[in-house]
Amino acid sequence: MPENIIDVRINNTLSIINTIRFTDSYTKKDISQKLGLSFATVSNTCNELKERNVLIEREVSGSNAGRSNVGRSPKNILLNYSHFLAGCFDFHIQNTVTLALYDLRDEQVAEKTFIYDTGTEAGELISLCHKMFLEVLDDHQLTDKNIYGVGVAVPAVYQSETGLTIASGFEVFDNQPVKKYFEDIFHIPAFVDNESNLGALATMVFQSAGHNENLIYLFVSEGLGLGVINKGKVLTGAHGAAGEICHIPIGSEDFVCKLCGQRGCVESDLSIRGFLTSFYGETDSRANIAELWVKFVKKVHKGDGRAIAVVRDKAALMGRLISVLVNLLDPNAICIGGEIKSLFDLIYPDLVSEMNKRLLIKDARNITIFPDKYTDTILKGCSERAYTEFFPLLVK
């Protein structure tokens, strides 16, 4: 019985916090009515959280100030969202780390990007991340006491049963205990996940236009990734590898996959390197892919016929890939993320045309397809996961 009472209290506490997380306009009475909890329960819980610096109060101003006719003036109950921060790390670009701090509303407080050398070992890289992290905290007059958790986005599969990141195109993350490195070096709870899963999570929360129960996030960057939201949850599978689409064999036989050595893997075509190889010919593995991509996109926007032909060819292939995904997963919405989103308007018509040729119940699906509107979607996903994973530990 005591355990049940404790569980109820924790659930009530988290319900109150989630209710006010993105608003500053609720009083205790509002919260009580919205959640169906007694005013006494809400008031006592809010008072406890205020003592622990989780909540703050603000006098109701303007037209709302007169809602209470007797007793004390009502106060809005606010989450002290800027006091608790998540440290977020995005490794999806080769030899590059973007670290950022996010508050409890997934708003960015600080960001820093730095380069690491090829051949850097995983433990060494995480130590470098910690050094840069402390610099960011110092620059913003913060301490690690403000950080309640760390989120890490990797271009790899994270296996929770082994604690290892596997099947990564970046050698530094292959078969590495990245989570353990972070927790040992940072001394803060950390989670690790594939960048596309985190992109899907952030898309569900912030930009899915109401279609957040079933959506897919197609991430086209230096690799090709897929995040899947099924009934409001990230689909991970038995070993964390759900959504791994790189080796679906519908690509060109001209390309040999750099990971598995086979021909026809769709990632070889639809990664940005695949676009560049189709336009420039085989690119040196040491070439600055980011710079080449910027030049390619400029050619497309200037109307270069050959560049546009490459994009349209890839768009048709993307449509065939998405038709497979739609028939398997039946999403309401599809978000296209990564560097490719800058070409979304050109890609969209051929993608949809090719997709629709292969859909089973296309007239009834009514799928929304849209480009990722944020530049920090993966980092927002890290922050959101940190909130759901670690913030409840602070209020128990």
Looking up residue 258, the CATH number of its domain turns out to be 3.30.420.40
The answer to whether position 11 is within a domain reads yes
Choosing from 27, 62, 79, the residue where a domain stops is: 79
Structure tokens belonging to residue 280: 């420039």
Residue 203 lies in a domain: no
3-class SS at 309?
A: helix
Residue 351 and residue 213 share a domain: yes
Together in a domain, 186 and 215: no
Q: Classify residue 187: in a domain, yes or no.
A: yes
**Residue 371 pLDDT:** 96
- Whether residue 340 is contained in a domain is answered as yes
Residues β-bridged to residue 57: 77
Cα gap 103→81, rounded to integer Å? 6
pLDDT of residue 198: 97
pLDDT number for residue 318 = 98
Question: Which residues, listed in sequence order, are joined to residue 78 by a DSSP beta bridge?
Answer: 56
CB-count exposure of residue 360 (10 Å: 0-12, 13-18, 19+): exposed
How far, in whole angstroms, is CA 202 from its chain's centroid? Answer: 5
The Cα 141–Cα 239 span in angstroms is 40
What are 113's strand-pairing partners?
Answer: 98
| Rounded Cα gap, residues 55 and 17, in angstroms | 8
Residue ending a domain, choose from 62, 79, 96: 79
Domain coverage including residue 243? 209-373
Residues 359 and 382 occupy one common structural domain: no
215, two tokens: 């959506």
Torsion, CA 32, CA 38, CA 40, CA 41, rounded to 10: -80
CA pair distance 40, 27, nearest whole angstrom: 13
CATH of the domain at 66: 1.10.10.10
Whole-angstrom distance, CA of residue 221 vs CA of residue 201:
18
Residues ≥6 apart with Cβ < 8 Å to 294? none
287 and 191 in a common domain: no
On whether both 34 and 177 belong to a single domain, the answer is no
Last residue of a domain, one of 79, 104, 137: 79
Q: Which residues contact 18 (CB under 8 A, 6 or more apart)?
A: none
- Distance CA(28)–CA(5), nearest Å, equals 22
Structure-token match 């990230």, residue found: 234
Asked whether residue 236 is domain-assigned, the answer is yes
Q: Provide the pLDDT for residue 300.
A: 98
Assess if residue 191 is contained within a domain.
yes
pLDDT value at position 91?
97
Rounded Cα gap, residues 198 and 372, in angstroms: 13
Same domain, 58 and 165: no
Please check whether residues 216 and 351 belong to one and the same domain.
yes
CB 218 within 8 A of CB 335: yes
| HSE-up of residue 318 (Cα within 13 Å, Cβ side) | 34
In degrees and rounded to multiples of 5, residue 157 shows phi and psi of: -90, 130
> Which residues of the chain are under the pLDDT cut of 70?
1-6, 62-72, 209-211, 283-287, 362-364
Q: Is 295 helix (H, G, I), strand (E, B) or coil?
A: helix
49/164 same-domain check: no
Backbone angles phi, psi at 153, to 5 degrees: -105, 120
Which helix H or strand E contains 261, and what residues bound it?
A: none
Burial of 123 (0-12, 13-18, 19+ CB in 10 A): middle
Residue 26 lies in a domain: yes
> Is there a domain that residue 204 lies in?
no
Q: Are residues 262 and 310 in the same domain?
A: yes
221 and 291 part of one domain? yes
| CA-CA-CA-CA torsion sign (350, 351, 356, 359) | positive
| Residue 221 and residue 350 share a domain | yes
357 shares its domain with 220: yes
In angstroms, rounded to a whole number, what is the distance separating the alpha carbons of residues 262 and 54? 53
| Tokens of residue 350, six digits | 């051929």
Query: For residue 224, what are the β-bridge partners?
Result: 220
DSSP H or E segment with residue 273: helix 272-280
* Total domains, the chain: 3
Q: Sheet holding 108-115: strands in order across?
A: 108-115, 96-102, 85-90, 147-154, 190-194
